[in-house]
Copies of this chain bind each other. A is one copy, B any other.
Amino acid sequence: MAKPVVALKSVIIRFAGDSGDGMQLTGDRFTMDAASLGNDLSTLPNFPAEIRAPQGTLPGVSSFQLHFADHQVLTAGDAPDVLVAMNPAALKANINDMPRGATIIIDKDEFTARNLKKVGYEVSPLEDGSLDSFNLHAIALTSMTVTALAGINISRKDAERSKNMFALGVLTWMYHRSTDATQAFLKAKFAKNEDILKANLLAYQTGWNFGETSEEFVTSYEVAPAKMKPGKYRNISGNAALAYGLIAASQQSGLRLFLGSYPITPASDILHELSKQKKFDIVTFQAEDEIAAVGAALGASYGGSLGVTATSGPGVALKSEMIGLGVMLELPLIIIDVQRGGPSTGLPTKTEQADLLQVMFGRNGESPVAVIAASTPSDCFEMAVEAARIATTYRVPTFLLSDGYIANGTEPWMIPDVAALPDLSVEFAKTQENFAPYERNPETLARPWAIPGTPGIEHRIGGLEKADKTGEISYEPANHDFMVRIRAAKVAGIKVPDIIVDDPSGDATVLFLGWGSTFGPISAAVQTLRDNGEKIAQAHIKYLNPFPSNLGALLEKYPKVILPEMNLGQLAMLLRARFLKDIISYNAVRGMPFSTAELVEVAMGVLHD
């Protein structure tokens, strides 16, 4: 008689193992199943900084967390309901995040004396009762997999490698899902290697059967689809969405996309993704360093391309002088900063929001640039398009801030209708008499985009201060003052959408403010607070320079403004300076997104002090 199926509203599951155990792939597959079943979801991969630290060691642990539910999901979740730990290291590295009563599935074959010692377990946690408060499933994943695959002629190593599919099979059964999608996926992935394919399929099926038949599991679970806006969806990471957004901007503007980049975690995938899309006539130039990368992008912009450079904090530091030249030349330039833990090399694979002041002020002289920030993985698409709009319309270097959390995290994305994308077409300067390269458009204050190849407008520009209109070198005091102010006015005058406040009751006195990737955690906290009958308003700043024109009024309206940042209060400083408004900062710089719980607690403190 079949085992009972229990319905759940949401599940948070974390896959953890050696870098070599294929946890990212396993998590991806499981995510795709949740997605196609219509669950809303959010994922958070967590890589070690080393490529592959020695097997079975703590630094070698790689994990992937998925939060899926029958309702809107805003974060990858705080505490997992289920942990799959492929070895002692994976268990040790993650056990502290597990709430009592959570389910833990481990591969007991890996709990050998040697492996336990590697991570400093005196006695096996399977024996010392330290896991008693959990719902533990210690399964012989490896041996069962190897036995099952005995018939297939592959090395033992390859057989063992398939254990992740065994585990996936177990979970597929556990969450009451069909095995079709994963089978199809495996067939595509291993089309070229029949034996490996057989092995994976069999391991997967065996895992599923094990769940179905063994005494180990008594119930399976089901998470109903979430009510989502009808449409076509795909799961997408921030870096992929950002790359797609740039391609969209190129298509919508008719400008050739030129990416000048130097690899750096966590921004490299943007270079990788665009390199794969060359059929869109994209130039990806892997430069010798960050300075050359942005220099080449600026050179391409000068030539009429959509010049883009993608990097992370340390790269921005190196690019700063060249970006200053971009400010002086007043050419479109997009700088993507996928923020990571700092200062210096810091925590390359962890997330942070501590580059805001760097991108605002990290150049010599008065050097204003536009700054915008993406708030979720899929939002990276829209913001990339926005960055292009601002850069090309105002001929100004434009920073798009992302961070490690949304860059690698994924969420379902309702695929936009290309026909509905904004028209970004631009006008280059035309052949004309007495061309004045710094004559400005009275509305945007942008100077002409005058590209080589246009007869009659030959002209010279450079990094020295230029005379108004003519653009010739000028050391004239009044002219310098004027140019400094007009460059500032141009950026201050960039049109950005008003900020929208979400205040259902209409009479909240506390505003939960945020920017960038804190959107998920803040929204989740706000929802929890409201579910508990609290009145709280929420607003998220996507445009950081210039600020939305209604921001001042908004801050006025709320006596108390809470601003959580994964830094020591960088946006808070800008707001305090600009609006002389006291901001209640909550800062944590841990290289991880905020948990919903901690933000709820912070808000409760403010609401009831």
Residues of A within 8 A of B (CB): 48-49, 59, 312-314, 316-318, 320-321, 324-325, 327-328, 339, 341-350, 352, 354-355, 357-358, 360-367, 462-465, 475, 477-478, 480-481, 484-485, 487-488, 567-568, 573-574, 576-578, 580-582, 588-592
- State the oligomeric state as a number of copies: 2
Q: How far is the CB of A568 from chain B (nearest CB, A)?
A: 5
Smallest Cβ-Cβ distance to A462: which chain B residue: B345
Q: Are B314 and A321 in contact (CB under 8 A)?
A: yes
- Given known A361-B358, A365-B352, contact A324–B344 (CB-CB < 8 A): yes
- What are 21 A-B pairs at a CB distance below 8 A? A314-B321, A316-B364, A318-B318, A318-B321, A320-B320, A324-B343, A328-B344, A341-B480, A342-B364, A342-B366, A344-B464, A345-B462, A345-B464, A346-B464, A361-B362, A362-B362, A366-B567, A477-B590, A480-B590, A488-B568, A577-B577
Chain B residue contacts of A316, Cβ below 8 A: 364
**Contact check: which of B357, B364, B465 meets A314 at CB < 8 Å?**
B364
Chain B residue contacts of A568, Cβ below 8 A: 366, 484-485, 488
Q: Are B366 and A363 in contact (CB under 8 A)?
A: no
Q: Are B362 and A463 in contact (CB under 8 A)?
A: no
Q: Are A464 and B49 in contact (CB under 8 A)?
A: yes
Instruction: Pick the most buried of A49, A354, A464, A577: most chain B CB atoms within 10 A of its CB.
Output: A577
- Given known A317-B362, A362-B363, A363-B362, contact A475–B591 (CB-CB < 8 A): yes
**Contact check: which of B318, B341, B480 meets A365 at CB < 8 Å?**
B341
**Contact check: which of B362, B367, B567, B576 meets A580 at CB < 8 Å?**
B576
Q: Are B358 and A589 in contact (CB under 8 A)?
A: no
Q: How far is the CB of A567 from chain B (nearest CB, A)?
A: 6
- Given known A320-B317, A358-B364, contact A327–B347 (CB-CB < 8 A): no
Q: How far is the CB of A250 from chain B (nearest CB, A)?
A: 27
Q: Are B324 and A314 in contact (CB under 8 A)?
A: yes
CA distance A343 to B590 in the complex (A): 35
Q: Are A320 and B464 in contact (CB under 8 A)?
A: no
**Contact check: which of B362, B462, B463, B481 meets A589 at CB < 8 Å?**
B481
Q: How far is the CB of A460 from chain B (nearest CB, A)?
A: 14
Instruction: Pick the most buried of A342, A354, A463, A580: most chain B CB atoms within 10 A of its CB.
Output: A342
**Contact check: which of B317, B487, B576 meets A576 at CB < 8 Å?**
B576
Chain B residue contacts of A590, Cβ below 8 A: 477-478, 480-481
Chain B residue contacts of A360, Cβ below 8 A: 357, 361
Smallest Cβ-Cβ distance to A349: which chain B residue: B475
CA distance A576 to B575 in the complex (A): 10
Q: Are A477 and B577 in contact (CB under 8 A)?
A: no
Smallest Cβ-Cβ distance to A345: which chain B residue: B463
- Given known A49-B464, A488-B568, A568-B488, contact A480–B347 (CB-CB < 8 A): yes
Chain B residue contacts of A324, Cβ below 8 A: 314, 317, 342-344
CA distance A477 to B591 in the complex (A): 6
Q: Are B346 and A463 in contact (CB under 8 A)?
A: yes
**Contact check: which of B49, B343, B488 meets A363 at CB < 8 Å?**
B343
Q: How far is the CB of A484 from chain B (nearest CB, A)?
A: 4
CA distance A312 to B324 in the complex (A): 14
Smallest Cβ-Cβ distance to A576: which chain B residue: B577
Q: Are B357 and A361 in contact (CB under 8 A)?
A: yes
**Contact check: which of B361, B364, B576, B589 meets A366 at CB < 8 Å?**
B589
Q: How far is the CB of A546 from chain B (nearest CB, A)?
A: 14
Given A354-B364, A484-B568, 9 new contacts (CB under 8 A): A312-B364, A318-B318, A324-B343, A343-B367, A346-B365, A354-B366, A366-B589, A576-B576, A576-B577
Q: How far is the CB of A301 from chain B (nearest CB, A)?
A: 15
Chain B residue contacts of A355, Cβ below 8 A: 364-365
Smallest Cβ-Cβ distance to A325: which chain B residue: B344
Instruction: Pick the most buried of A349, A481, A488: most chain B CB atoms within 10 A of its CB.
Output: A481
Q: Are A313 and B364 in contact (CB under 8 A)?
A: yes
CA distance A465 to B463 in the complex (A): 37
Chain B residue contacts of A487, Cβ below 8 A: 343
**Contact check: which of B344, B358, B465, B488 meets A347 at CB < 8 Å?**
B465
CA distance A462 to B343 in the complex (A): 11
Chain B residue contacts of A580, Cβ below 8 A: 576, 580-582
Q: How far is the CB of A370 from chain B (nearest CB, A)?
A: 15
Q: Are B345 and A366 in contact (CB under 8 A)?
A: no
Q: Are A321 and B317 in contact (CB under 8 A)?
A: yes
Q: How far is the CB of A197 from chain B (nearest CB, A)?
A: 36
Chain B residue contacts of A581, Cβ below 8 A: 580
Chain B residue contacts of A485, Cβ below 8 A: 568, 589
Chain B residue contacts of A367, Cβ below 8 A: 342-344
Q: Are A343 and B327 in contact (CB under 8 A)?
A: yes
Q: How far is the CB of A356 from chain B (nearest CB, A)?
A: 9
Smallest Cβ-Cβ distance to A319: which chain B residue: B317
Q: Are A343 and B361 in contact (CB under 8 A)?
A: no
- Given known A314-B321, A320-B320, A478-B590, contact A344–B361 (CB-CB < 8 A): no
